[in-house]
Each structure stands twice: as structure tokens, then as C-alpha cells.
Chain A
């Protein structure tokens, strides 16, 4: 039931009720001040109770609490109370504390003659307080999806000054229903009502079948909210990245499943004799039973399948080789478009904002670029809701501010030549170690793959295991190398680490691609293979699976056991930190494998989907249990841009180049697959066009177009050249915009400082236009000269005769007493 609830107390009423105990209406309103006071105390009490009730989210950072926190807490209490008092608008000498009020209210003079209605009201207030107190943190899964507040008629009474007993009783019953059983019993017992009344209330308030069904919000939203509440934006970006990749794989799976796997599954080709039966090892190796299945390239037939429709007496035909070629091609093309769109979406936004800072350069301390102010205003992450994380963040911010203060106070002294040379040497040695490590790893993989004895089916797993081991161990080497180096800023360190990991992963993938496409595909007989594409598909399946298994092992050992070890054995207080960059690179590596493998194993995206789903929940559980948020600030938006860029460029582009190369120049195997009789996979398209022409002479223009445009290298060169010119033009536009923005910023600074200077000298301000005309040398060139060639909207032109028209907020306030600003 709705009514106008006003929590602003009427002080006169309050005074009146305290004077005459007979006035019952006034009596139970006096409890509302109690309510107010208790509420401000309650907020703090609730915090403590949450810590008791919520066991699973208890962090062991109590030892980090500083004695100053108590002072801060007490300060907050006092503030809260004072605000409460201000609300009440009471004169200071008439403030009673809650304890006093409680004592006063239980005095006989105040309880005599209280009607049943008054008692019920009082207990109604008390049950409200108790409900709020007992309400544990609503788990994120119980968002109530109540009906949209709109149409159904509802009896709404407004302005209930004279509340009937009946309504108050209903309120009380409602409150009692929502209390836990123990509190309900206690409350009922404490009420000064007759037993009959109490029985009545008890029966009414006993739990009934819930009327309203609240569907919980989806599980992944719950997981994301938990992670962001505890760790903030940085770690959240990893999980959002997993979601993005899931979306890409889902799309790929739908396309290949619908257009390739389904038609082929409906019309299975004749199975050759000697098909191996299912054994458990197939799940790991991808061979055996799965070799002759829709999963791999070799199963697909190279003819057109027809299906006779008995009803219409016609037949539907489906050209499988053509479908294979076009499906894979279109899937890649559409993925490319989506990627570029996402890249543009995240990139331009942050790019325009990064105008005053260059990528990877540390902040320039001498110029006033607002670093300290930015830290104060922009560093708080509002998503963080766990108490311990909040505490950690405050500490982080304090540490950073102290560091910044120290830096600004102490002028960065010129490092001596010796020191510089020393640093350069150290960097050089570290890079040497890293590059050497990568080279060694690449050579090891190469020789291992050449000389591996393929004795049993299980030995096929040896190469993936070795590669995954290298992927796991070498980043450790990079960390060790980075540990001895000294960097200007944490972001430089992060970028160097990312680039080293990237170098490792690209080299590994490069050597593997060489092995598959350069050696196996070129001479499949040497390795004793009939169908090399199926073999490559199986290899990719194995690699993907091993990558997943090793990631799980790494999560278990690297995070769970390491946390136990560091806390029990090393007695460290802090949990390990979740390394976002390394984990994201692992994801990108896995995705590259999936993209490489789509051509050879159309159902590989399904495997990747399952892997990503499992990874999402396992990582989330591990992060919540074992890790803590990083000490250093994490620039989420910059990092997201980098990750999407890495996904686009080395990862997708590399996979697309490999696939295109395979389709264009490698000869398919003769005995399996949809392209078995052709010289290369693209021929299927050509053959189809020729067939079309022979069937229907009207389409000869298609053949003409195909032979003169698609096959003619000159046309392709011209097209590529035009494309690159467009890209160059766009990059120039962005550069120009960047320049304009920085010029504008400079102008604002100049104008403000110049105007202050003008106002403090003896100048009649009415001559402002002429003063502006005699602007000092070095005034920036009017902007219209820059806007002429570039698409900028709206164009800004500043001519000398017109006083600068800034928006009204920018008109500088006059401060005649201000000391002269530094010279322009």
C-alpha cells in the first residue's frame, strides 16, 4: 500500500509529543527519531555483520588494516550522526541520544494507556529495523524481475494520517512474514499483546508458498559482477575478452555446421572398410574413430549430393566442394569485417583521448598535464564493491600519490652517461636472453617434430605436449629477465612483456605452420600419409586440447597451489596476482589455432566453444579463490585496445594468410576430401563458373569477369593499391585531427593566461577587439587554414578581428589581485 512517506520530521510535533505522554499519535512518532539514529548506526553495524555472515568472500587482509582506519571509522560515525541531526533540524541543546530515548520510552508514564494500535505500530517499526539488519547481502542472482509497474489497478491510498488498526496489522504481518523464523518467534514473544492476538499473528505470518517467482539473472552476469566487484575493471576485461572470443567461435560454428557438416551428415559417403571402433583415446588424439567423421576434411565427398523430393518430383542438389570453398571463404571474410568493426570501435575512442600522451612514453612531469589531478578524480573504480578490495585500492591510490609527490618534488636529475650505458647494457642482455630462449625453443620444436618416432597413437601427443610446455615455461624466463631490468614506468614494462610473449607465440606458430604446410603438405608420402589434411586437422585438434589441459594445470599449480605454498610455507600475506596480459595472450594463441584449423576440421570451433566455456568458469572460480587484484594500476581501456589489435593483426591475419595460401597453392590430396581431383582448392570455384556458363549461356559475363578480374594479377594489384591509398588517407585524417585537438588545447591555455594578463594591466576592456588584434607574437595560426582540406565538423575559424567566442563557461572570472601568470 502506498502512502506519502516523509522522513523529514516536524520538530514541533516532536517537541509536543515529548511533553504529553497521553498523546498516542505523538508517542509512536517519537520512535522515528530512534529509527533515524539507529539507521545511521545500522549502516556501520551491517558492514560488520556482512563480514560475519559471508564466509566465502572473507579475505585475509585484516593484517593490513592500519590504526588510522579506526580513526577514519570514528570520523565517519560522527559525520553520520551529525548529518542525521542536521536533518532533524533540532536545536542543539535538545538533542537526545538514542539510549536516552530508549530509556525515556520505556518509562511507565509513556507506556500507560497505549492502545493496541500503538503497540502494533511500534512493533512494526521494530520489525522493519530487524529486517534490514538481518537482510544478508542479496546475492546477485536474486534480482527480482517484478512486473513492469504499469497497468494493473492497484488500490492506492494516499495521505494516511489516520491509519486504521487493520492496515497496521497487515503491515506487521507482512514484516513478520519476511523475518527469519527465530526473529519472528522472538518478536512475537516480546509483544505486549494477549495470547489470542499473538496466536493469530503467528498463524498469519507463518511462511506461505511464495507467490512471486523471481527468475535469477543469467549465470555469466553473476560471475562477471562478482569478479568486477572484487577485482575491478582490469581483471574483468579478461573475462569480457573470453566472451568476445566465444561469440566469434559461435558464429563460425553455426556457419560451418549448417552449410558443411549438416548436408554431409545427411548424405554420408560410402565408408571405406576397416573403420576403427571407438576407444577413449580418440578424445585426446582426435584420430581413430573420429578420422572418418564429419569432423575432418577427409570425410567430405567431392561430388554434388542430390536429394530426391518425392512430392515435387524434382531434386535438390548441393555441391559439396563448392560449398566447402565458399563457406570457409565467407566465414573468414565476415569474421574479418566484424573484427575490424570492433577494432575501430574500441580504438578510435581511446586514440583521440590519448593525444597528449604517446603510446608507451612515461608522463612528462615538467609540463602541467594534470597527472595528479587525474589520479585524484579518475582513479577510483566505482565497480569495486568488496570491502577488502576497496581497502586495497585506497592503499594503491595513496601509494601512487605519494610516489607522484616524491617525483614532482625531486627534479629528475640527469643520469650520468655511465648509468645510461649501464641501463642499456642490462636491457640488451635481457633481450638477448629472451630472443635466445625463443630461438632455442623454435629449433627444439623443429628437430623434435622431424625426428619424432610415431610408434603408437599416443605418441602423437608428444609434440603438442612439448609445445605447450615451452609456452608455459618460457614466460617465466621472460619474467626473470624483466626482473633485473629497470623501466621508466609500469606501462612500458607491461608492453615489453607483452611483446616478448607475442614474439614467442608467433615463432612457435610459425614453425608449426612451416611443418604442416611446408613439409607435410608438400610431401605427404614421406610421412606415410594418405590424407594430409585430415592429419593436419587432427594435429590442430590435439594442440587445442593440450593447450586447454595445460591452462587448467597452470591454473591449478600456478594459482591454487602457489597460493597455498606462498601463504603456508613462505608465509606471505598477499595472494598471487592474476597476470592479465599473459592469460589474454594464451587466449589469442588458442584462437589462432582454431582459425587455422577451420579449413581442415570444420567442427573445430565447437571444440573451442566448449573449451572457452569451461575456461570462463574455471578461471573465475580460481581468481575468486586464489588471487588478488594487481598492485599496479591497470589501464583497462588501453589494454583492451591492444588485445583487440593483437587479435586482429598477428592472429587473424596470420591465420587468414595461411588459409589463403593453402587454398591457392597447395595441392589437395588425391584420395580424400572434397577437392581430390583438383590442382588447388580455388579451382572448384572456377569449375563451377564454367559449368554455369555451359548450362546457361547468358551468364558468360560471369566467366569473363572471373577470368579477367579475379584471375588477372594486374587487377588484383590495382585493387590492393587502391585499398592502401584509402588506408593512408584515413590515417592522415586522423593525424590531422590529432594535431588540431592539441592545437586547440594549447589555445585554450594561452587564451586563459593571456586574458588574465590583460585584465591585470591598465587596459580599458572595451578595447578588447583591438587588443586582440595586437596579439603578441607566437599566437597560434588561425585554424581555418588547417580545416580546409580535412573533413572536420564543425569547422572552427578564428580570425583576429573577432574576439574569441568561447562558450560562456569559459569566460574567465576576473581576479584583479592575482599575481601575473608566467609569460607566454
Chain B
């Protein structure tokens, strides 16, 4: 007979939702505004004094050359959108590129990477999330059997608390052993 605690709460969102990414230089912000404007010139105004609520849909954002061929483009845009559907306002757009820029801190990148790979949004990387990630990475080069094997081994390796899915701390611990993470999780704009 086991006397248990209540199950621990899911991530306290105030801990998990990171602060907005660091501000970019004004030159970069101008450039980003230019790029945002280029996507939908008739919609995006040249000035934002009245803070118009313009949101560009996901299908438009992923036509950007930096995102077009990225296997995770849909997830990236969804993660940075407020409604989770991929409609980005200019602020979300800037947040996205500043989180993915060279100077963003490691913890921030780890948080966003975790969110991107978490396809079902339950704050855990379960087997299905991993399988989806792997499928997008390898684009059908691996057989389904191999995919399943890789996913189960990966979870086995990285799971520290034994719940057969990766929580954020497992993910972060694994990331900390990868010195290249910072340089690969970076989009140049």
C-alpha cells in the first residue's frame, strides 16, 4: 500500500514561460520590420504608432527563405504565436528571431527548443513527439522499426526521473552536454 503525494503539478507556467527574448539592436529591428513588411506589403504598415494588430498567418511566414526548408518551420512559428496557430504579430516575429539569434542565452534557446519539439504541447517530450521529430529530421530515410528503436533508446538515455518521457530538466541536462547546440540552434537573418 503506497501512501502517495498528489501528483506533482504540471509545470508552473510562470516558471516555464520565459521572459521575452533580449532586445535586438535597432538596425536589426529595422531589418526585421522590412522583412515582415515584405511578406505582406499591403497589410503591414510602415509605422506602428497606433499598434495595429496585424497578424500574418503561418502559411505566409513559412515562405521566408530562412524557414522554407526547415523541417520544423511550422512548429517554430506556432510556438512563437500567441494563439498557438501560427499567426504572428510583429512582436512575435521579432521575438522569434531574437530567440533564434546568435546572442540569445542558452537557457532561452533550450526552453524554446523544448517547446518546438513538444508537438502535443503537454510540456513533456513523449514517444510520439520524438517520433514526429525524427520523421521530420530524416524524412523517411529510416524504417518505422528503426524510428521506434531510436526513440526508445533516446528516451532511455535522457530520461533521468524514470517516467519514460522527457521533462524539461531532462532535456536541458542533455542539451548541456552538446556544445554545438548554441551554434546549430541559430537562424541567421
Contacts and interface: CB of A to CB of B under 8 A. Distances in A.
A635 B35 CA distance: 31
A663 to B, nearest CB: 40
B117 interface: yes
A36 B59 CA distance: 9
Nearest to B178: A378
B159 to A, nearest CB: 9
A352 to B, nearest CB: 9
A718 interface: no
A385 B70 contact: yes
Given A72-B140, A143-B35, A149-B33, A128 B65 contact: no
B153 A378 contact: no
B100 A382 contact: yes
A697 interface: no
Contacts of B48: 149-150
A127 to B, nearest CB: 9
Contacts of A2: 43, 45, 50, 52, 54
A390 interface: yes
B80 interface: no
Interface stretch (A369-377, A586-594, A707-715): A369-377
- Taking residues whose C-beta sits less than 8 angstroms from the other chain, chain A's interface range is 35 or more
Interface string A125-154: 000100010000110000111111111111
Interface in B7-48: 7-8, 11-12, 15, 26-27, 29-31, 33-35, 37-38, 41-43, 45-48
A374 B158 CA distance: 9
A171 B40 CA distance: 12
A266 interface: no
A616 interface: no
A59 interface: no
A71 interface: yes
A71 B142 CA distance: 13
Interface string A806-819: 01111111111010
Interface string A64-102: 001011011000000000010001000000000000000
A638 B180 CA distance: 8
Nearest to A224: B188
A381 interface: yes
B28 to A, nearest CB: 10
Contact of B5 (A1, A386, A765): A765
Interface residues of B, number: 95
A811 B8 contact: yes
Nearest to B16: A809
A636 B183 contact: yes
A813 B179 contact: no
A368 interface: yes
A668 B28 CA distance: 53
B85 interface: yes
Contacts of A637: 179-180, 182-183
A1 B45 contact: yes
Contacts of A87: 85
Given A145-B34, A394-B137, A228 B161 contact: no
Interface string A728-766: 000000000000000001001100110010011010111
A636 to B, nearest CB: 5
Contacts of B157: 368-373
Contacts of B160: 748-749, 752
Given A2-B45, A71-B140, A405 B178 contact: no
B108 interface: no
A820 to B, nearest CB: 10
B161 A752 contact: yes
Given A384-B69, A764-B3, A809-B15, A225 B183 contact: no
Contacts, number: 281
Contacts of A150: 47-49
B65 A385 contact: yes
B144 to A, nearest CB: 12
A112 to B, nearest CB: 29
Interface string A783-824: 000000000000000000000000111111111101001000
Contacts of A749: 160
A405 B87 contact: no
B174 A370 contact: yes
Contact of B150 (A144, A158, A372, A814): A372
Contacts of A816: 2, 4
Contact of A148 (B29, B171, B177): B29
Interface string B67-106: 0111110100000000001010000000000001000000
A405 B52 CA distance: 52
Contact of B177 (A174, A178, A357): A357
B127 interface: no
B122 to A, nearest CB: 13
Given A2-B52, A382-B187, A812 B179 contact: no
A491 B108 CA distance: 29
A815 B163 contact: yes
Contact of A153 (B3, B49, B162): B49
Among B37, B176, B177, which residue has the most Cβ atoms of chain A within 10 A?
B177
A143 B183 contact: no
Contacts of B87: 7
A390 B68 CA distance: 11
A810 B169 contact: yes
A380 B71 contact: yes
Interface in B124-165: 130, 133-134, 137-142, 146, 149-151, 153-158, 160-163
Given A144-B34, A748-B160, A395 B55 contact: no
A408 interface: yes
Contacts of B26: 148
B59 A809 contact: no
A353 B106 CA distance: 12
A418 interface: no
A43 interface: yes
A371 B156 CA distance: 11
A749 B161 CA distance: 8
Given A43-B63, A350-B179, A381 B184 contact: yes
Contacts of A144: 31, 34-35, 37-38
29 contacts: A5-B43, A6-B55, A8-B85, A39-B60, A66-B140, A68-B139, A87-B85, A143-B31, A146-B34, A149-B45, A154-B49, A214-B34, A228-B188, A353-B178, A370-B173, A372-B154, A378-B184, A379-B137, A383-B187, A385-B68, A385-B70, A394-B138, A397-B137, A397-B138, A398-B138, A752-B160, A810-B161, A812-B8, A818-B163
| 5 interchain residue pairs of minimum CB distance | A144-B34, A398-B141, A68-B140, A149-B48, A2-B52
Given A71-B140, A376-B154, A816-B4, 19 more contacts: A5-B43, A6-B55, A43-B63, A47-B68, A87-B85, A154-B49, A174-B41, A353-B178, A373-B157, A376-B151, A378-B185, A379-B184, A384-B69, A394-B138, A405-B153, A637-B183, A813-B8, A815-B162, A821-B162
